[in-house]
Structure 1
Amino acid sequence: MSGTELAVETLTLTAGARHLVRDVSLTARPGEVIGLVGPNGSGKSSLLRAVYRVLRPDTGQVRVDGADAWSLPVRRLARTMAAVVQEPGTGIDLTVREVVAMGRTPHKRLLDGDTAEDARLIDTALAAVDAADLAGRSFDRLSGGERQRVLIARALAQQPALLVLDEPTNHLDIRHQLEVLGMLRRLPATVLVALHDLNLAAYYCDRLYALHNGEVITSGPPAEVLTPRLLAEVYGVTAEVAVHPRTGAPQVTFLPGEPAGATPAGPDQPRS
């Protein structure tokens, strides 16, 4: 793996008359971990689907190292980009090892078998997500958290220079949340990840993009993005933000009650 550059340029996605994403631009430089934050319905998943070529943009572009991602051959793009979607798959009648081995497909010709190097990469990917002991088990018999880890391992086996993840910590216990995000932090790859947990986003991400109603409200280092004012505006909550004495990262504490002078944001409510 080696990091690649991602550029999303004035991207708009619609569903009928509704804007899912409106004029969104972002950049992820080689080796950065970029986080998307925002409440449910803010456009995070839709934006990621446009990046990994499930939803075609109405306008705007997704560029990977300067090339239009939607114009690249599927196989070529798969050698550069891997995606982990929000819902762990089901109905896959394969062993865990076979699922992870699917990550090697973009690097093979038709009918090629697994090589010793493939086996090494599969073993390494399983170990990276603490799933080596699951290798012989049926994927469909795993818990949601176990399936999630296996799908992350499949993406790692793909050796992507760009890794796109939609809520990868869903279904994971706290230990595996920390281990998975720590592993992503250490990868020699560019990472674009949507996260609900703002404290995890603050600690593990280089920069954040905050979305609301399909638009980027603000972006920058976590300390600049995660402010009480933004959390009141975007999430409709009262929060205190302090610097954690050990990590130096912003630490968000949510408090009961509505923020003073603020109205909880609805899906159609304009920003002031």
Structure 2
Amino acid sequence: MSAATDLSVEGVTLTAGARRLVRDVSLTASAGQVVGLVGPNGSGKSSLLRAVYRVLRPVAGTVRVDGTDVRSMPARHLARTVAAVVQDSAADFDLAVREVVAMGRTPHQRLLAGDTAEDAAVIDDALASVDALHLADRRFDRLSGGERQRVLIARALAQRPTLLVLDEPTNHLDIRHQLDVLGVLRRLPATVLLALHDLNLAAYYCDRLHVLCEGEVVAFGPPAEVLTSRLLADVYAVAGEVTVHPRTGAPQVTFLPGEHRRDPAVDAPHR
């Protein structure tokens, strides 16, 4: 895998018709960092990720990879640089798992060229890293939701990107595989930008967090600085406590069901 890359999102605004999805969002991810996007449903996380991997075009602002606007990057170069795992992919490939993961090698191959021994090794390594090597000969469309998710992550890993963008990569995964996958991402020689709902996983695995609320970044920085009881109340409308885990040293969020929650119509978001 090539060296990690720098990501810069500069004042990005996204719309869908008259509806604003994201407004004036800026963030950076330095080479090799794992940066998390957190926030309530509908806060703009998925939309922002789509702008990074060039599915949505900003009406204002720019996304740059190593200083280059992603909109100006040739498709093949973009595919060698950025890999994406989308949320709840509708893909229902009538292919063997190994063939699905092999798609990740396409940007690195000549037209109509078959898989080389190197490609085969990369595919096996990607499958093994998400505990899916034993699924290699199974039909993708007969897998469980969690198995499919691991295969799609393996496909992105086989692409050997320098920037990996993932939208809720732990969806459908059991606890063991959530930890396994996030551990793999943490160890990659790549820059990682991912959206997560689980704040404790985000606190442990991410170097920095950006909190989105109603399409805007309302807090950002190291998890220990970002995650506070006030933020939980203001952004998520829940009561909770944030402590330091005695073994990991990471912030640990504990929610307090039944306690007072703010009225989102009255209180302004934390900024």
TM superposition score normalised by structure 2: 0.97
* CA deviation profile, 1:70-120 (whole Å, cap 9, x unmatched): 111111111000000011343211100000000000011111111000000
Q: Which residue of 2 aligns with 1:232?
A: 233
CA distance in structure 2 between the aligned counterparts of 1:265 and 1:93, rounded to whole angstroms: 48
Q: Which residue of 2 aligns with 1:37?
A: 38
Q: Distance in 2 between matches of 1:153 and 1:265?
A: 42
Could you say which residue in structure 1 is the equivalent of 2:264?
264
Show the 5 A alignment for 1:1-272: 1=1, 2-259=3-260, 262-264=262-264, 271=269
Rounded to whole Å, the distance in 2 between the matches of 1:265 and 1:60 is: 29
**Distance in 2, Cα, partners of 1:259 & 1:29:** 39
Query: Hey, what's the Cα distance between the residues in 1 that align with 2:114 and 2:21?
Result: 42
The CA deviation at 1:270 is: 5.5
Equivalent AA in structure 2 for residue 99 of structure 1: V
Take 1:265 and 1:40, find their aligned partners in 2: how far apart are those partners? 17
The one-letter code matched in structure 1 to 2:31 is P
Amino acid in structure 2 at the alignment position of 1:148: Q
Does the CA contact (< 8 Å) of 1:91 and 1:140 recur in 2?
Answer: yes
3-state SS of 1:169 partner: coil
Counterpart residue identity of residue 50, structure 2? R
Q: Does 86-95 or 163-172 show the bigger shift?
A: 86-95
Question: How many angstroms apart in 1 are the aligned matches of 2:260 and 2:98?
Answer: 49
- Matched residues in 2 for 1:238 and 1:270: separation? 16
In the TM superposition, residue 28 of structure 1 has moved relative to its aligned partner by 0.3
CA RMSD of aligned residues (A): 1.3
C-alpha contact (below 8 Å) 1:237/1:264 kept by paired residues: no
- Give the Cα separation in 1 of the matches to 2:91 and 2:122: 24
Per the TM alignment, residue 263 of structure 1 is displaced from its structure 2 partner at its CA by 1.2
Given that 1:236 and 1:258 are in contact with CA atoms closer than 8 Å, whether structure 2 keeps it comes out as no
Secondary structure of 2:141's partner? Answer: helix
| Equivalent-residue separation in structure 2 for 1:69 and 1:159 (angstroms) | 18
- Residue range with higher mean Cα deviation, 214-223 or 85-94: 85-94
**How far apart, in 2, do the equivalents of 1:215 and 1:68 lie?**
22
Identity of aligned residues (%): 76
Q: 1:249 and 1:147 mapped to 2: Cα distance?
A: 30
Cα offset, 1:124, TM superposition: 0.2
Distance 1:270 1:22, change over 3 A: farther
| Paired residues of 2:234 and 2:268 also in contact (CA < 8 A) | no
| Matched residue type, 2:264 | P
8 A Cα contact 1:6 1:64, kept in partner: yes
> 1:226 and 1:217, CA in 2 relative to 1: closer, same or farther beyond 3 A?
same
Which runs of no fewer than 5 residues in structure 1 stay unpaired? none
